[in-house]
């Protein structure tokens, strides 16, 4: 394949050309309650060409029929020529790489019959249902894939990779009369069949939580000291800060550049944030990004100060910085755009107890049902919460929604514990019509000295 792609590159009349080809085998199994919703196997294949001519724009072409390779290279070149860009698009230098990387398949999912995948999910789904007769419904899903990937560009980079992925998730719905509560377990790994065995405990806990929440009161809205558990802290840093650190947001927007000037203080000195696409064994990890740039650990906030951002080759060249290996595409259907990989709040010091010891009245917000950031505002729904009273964890509470302004909230992070962990969840990140992109988030427990918590807006205003 590499030879075939290299030959196509040689026929390109552009100044820069890159070609990506992917062939993906995947299976998916879904349960709803006791009923199997679907069990399917799919095969997806296609290619993507991006070309740049002198003074021209990006010409891009995506296709599913590999017979069309040469025609699509020619089409991309023609599209590039049709667009005039001044000043011209430049790409930051990246040394050419040749690599053949078979990621650890950890039990190749292609060798496991789909009936066995169904049995595995049925067992986990059964764990959810067995917890209580109050669990009235479940949604459980298993998905795996192995993607064979080829990338070449006209600067001499040639890559071949075999990339596995497996995700597993289960939602338990508990009901009593008119009250409905949910518990969620989600696992996402760049691994294989072996890594999703023996996961029953997490499913049981999710269902137990849903049942316990039936008896939990709604949190009383208001401003509190809030401790985020590592999962929610990870989602928070990804959504609320990570997207602003993507350079395509700032590189050609002077006002945005000013807002995100390196050296600006974003938080107290305890706060260190980064994005590490090379961290071993994570879902957002790959040796190279989709422009052939090696991935790396990129510091974003150091002791509260903005020190870096995430780049593609184009945004890096425009801003006079170095490419960071963050140009990613979810598939051959899409161009690479600036994305996160594994985004983290770095470890602090001390234990969880140190964070809550001097909190008279506060909220411990755990897990994430969802979150959205729009511009500088965010809203996150925690899976559940515990009140903190006189320095100790107290009753379970539900409907914990955190809403606020990014800049204010980051600045109010005053204590970060030393219990860092990566959250190996399923799902993924969405941007520019490309979702879900496999990413990971990681954090220790994090304390925000004051944040607004409310399930019910009317009470939050009181």
Partner 1 sequence: MIEQLLELARRRADGGADALWRQVERTSVAFEWGRLKTAGASEEAGANLRVRHRGRVGIAGTTAVDASPDDILTRALASAELGEELALAFPAPAPVPPVATFFHPVADASLDRLMAIGRSLLERLEREGCRVNVTIERETAETRVANSAGAAGAYRSTAIGVSAEVWRIAGDDVLAIGDTFEGADLPSDAALAALVGSVNARLEHALRVVAPPEGALPVVFTPPGLSALMLPVTQALSGKAVLQGISPLAARVGEQVFDSRFSLSDDPLRAGRAASRPLDDECVPSRTTCLVERGVVQRFIYDLETAARARTQSTGHGHRTIFGKPVPGYTNIVLGDGGRGTGDGGDELGGGLLRDVQDGLLVDELIGVGQGNVIGGAFSHPVALAYRVEHGAISGRVKDAAIAGNAYDLWKRVGGFGNDGRWAGSRYTPSVLLDGVSVARR
Interaction with partner 1 in 376-415: which residues (CB under 8 A)?
376-379, 381, 401, 403-405, 407
Burial 217-235 (b: 16+ CB within 10 A, else e): eebbbeebbbbbbbbbbbb
Which residues, 325 to 354, sit near partner 1 by CB under 8 A?
333, 335
Question: What is the closest distance, in whole angstroms, from the C-beta atom of residue 298 to partner 1 in the complex?
Answer: 23
Residue 170 near residue 140, CB atoms below 8 Å:
yes
Q: Which of residues 88-117 bind partner 1 (CB under 8 A)?
A: 89, 114-115
Burial (Cβ within 10 Å: 0-12, 13-18, ≥19) of residue 210:
buried
28 contributes a contact to partner 1 by CB under 8 A: yes
CA-based nearest residue to 285, from 182, 141, 424, 416: 424
Touching partner 1, residues 166-185 (CB under 8 A): 180, 182
The three-state secondary structure class of 202 is helix
Backbone angles phi, psi at 283, to 5 degrees: -70, -30
Among 15, 44, 449, 450, binds partner 1 (CB under 8 A): 44
Stretch that binds partner 1, among 22-30, 96-104, 147-155, 186-194 (CB under 8 A): 22-30
Q: Which residue has the tokens 């699509």?
A: 72
Output 28 or 279, the one with its CB closest to partner 1: 28
Give yes or no for residue 262 binding partner 1 (CB under 8 A). no
| Shortest distance in whole angstroms from residue 28 CB to partner 1 | 7
Rank residues 241 and 352 by Cβ distance to partner 1 and give the closer one: 241
- Half-sphere exposure of residue 432: CA atoms within 13 angstroms, side-chain side: 16
- Over the window 114 to 153, marking each residue x when it contacts partner 1 by CB under 8 A and - when it does not, the resulting string is xx--x-----------------xx----------------
Whether 286 and 296 have beta carbons less than 8 Å apart is answered as: no
Tell me how far, at minimum, the Cβ of 220 lies from partner 1, in Å: 14
Q: Is 252 in the site for partner 1 (CB under 8 A)?
A: yes
Beta-sheet pairing, 16-32 with 58-63: unpaired
Q: Which of residues 60-89 bind partner 1 (CB under 8 A)?
A: 60-65, 67-68, 72, 75-76, 79-80, 82-85, 89
Q: Are 172 and 183 in contact (CB under 8 A)?
A: yes
Query: By CB under 8 A, which span of 188-196, 286-294, 298-306, 372-380 interacts with partner 1?
Result: 372-380
The conformation of residue 219, written as its DSSP 8-state character, comes to P
Task: Give the range of 44-52, 96-104, 230-238, 346-354 binding partner 1 by CB under 8 A.
Answer: 44-52
Is residue 234 involved in binding partner 1 (CB under 8 A)?
no
Is residue 449 at the binding interface for partner 1, with CB under 8 A as the rule?
no
Cβ contacts of 68 within 8 Å, gap of 6 or more? none
Contact between 38 and 29 under an 8 Å Cβ cutoff? The reply is yes
Side-chain half-sphere exposure of 225, counting CA atoms within 13 A: 17
């Amino acid at each position: 394949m590499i030879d075939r792609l290299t030959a196509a590159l040689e026929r390109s009349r552009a100044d820069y050309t890159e070609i990506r080809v992917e062939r993906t085998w995947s299976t998916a199994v879904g349960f709803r309650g006791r009923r199997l919703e679907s069990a399917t196997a799919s095969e997806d294949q296609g290619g993507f060409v991006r070309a740049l001519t002198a003074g021209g724009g990006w010409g891009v072409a995506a296709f599913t029929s590999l017979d069309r390779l040469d025609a699509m290279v020619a089409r991309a070149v023609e599209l590039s020529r049709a667009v005039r860009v001044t000043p011209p698009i430049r790409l930051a230098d990246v040394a050419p790489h040749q690599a053949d990387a078979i990621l650890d398949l950890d039990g190749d999912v292609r060798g496991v019959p789909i009936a066995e995948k169904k049995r595995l999910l049925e067992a986990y789904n059964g764990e959810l249902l067995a917890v209580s007769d109050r669990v009235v419904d479940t949604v459980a899903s298993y998905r795996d894939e192995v993607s064979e990937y080829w990338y070449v560009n006209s600067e001499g980079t040639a890559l071949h990779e075999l990339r596995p992925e497996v995700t597993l998730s289960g939602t338990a719905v508990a009901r009593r009369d008119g009250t409905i509560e949910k518990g969620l377990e989600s696992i996402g790994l760049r691994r294989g069949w072996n890594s999703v065995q023996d996961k029953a405990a997490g499913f049981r806990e999710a269902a137990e939580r849903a049942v316990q929440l039936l008896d939990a009161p709604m949190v009383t809205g208001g401003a509190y000291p809030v401790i985020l558990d590592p999962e929610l802290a990870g989602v928070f840093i990804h959504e609320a800060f990570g997207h602003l650190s993507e350079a395509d947001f700032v590189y050609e927007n002077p006002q945005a550049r000013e807002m995100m000037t390196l050296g600006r203080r974003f938080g107290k000195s305890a706060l260190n944030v980064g994005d590490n696409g090379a961290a071993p064994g994570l879902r957002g990890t790959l040796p190279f990004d989709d422009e052939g740039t090696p991935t790396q650990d990129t510091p974003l906030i150091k002791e509260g100060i903005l020190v870096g951002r995430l780049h593609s080759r184009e945004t890096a060249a425009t801003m006079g910085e170095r490419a960071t290996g963050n140009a990613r595409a979810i598939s051959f259907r899409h161009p690479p755009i600036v994305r996160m990989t594994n985004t983290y709040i770095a470890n602090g010091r001390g234990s969880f107890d140190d964070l809550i010891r001097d909190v008279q009245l506060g909220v411990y917000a755990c897990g994430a049902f969802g979150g959205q950031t729009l511009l500088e505002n965010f809203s996150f729904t925690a899976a559940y919460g515990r009140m903190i009273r006189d320095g100790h964890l107290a009753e379970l509470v539900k409907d914990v929604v955190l809403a606020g302004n990014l800049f204010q909230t980051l600045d109010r992070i005053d204590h970060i514990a030393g219990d860092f962990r990566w959250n190996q969840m399923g799902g993924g990140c969405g941007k520019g019509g490309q979702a879900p992109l496999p990413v990971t988030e990681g954090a220790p427990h994090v304390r925000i000295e004051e944040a607004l918590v409310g399930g019910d807006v009317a009470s939050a205003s009181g």
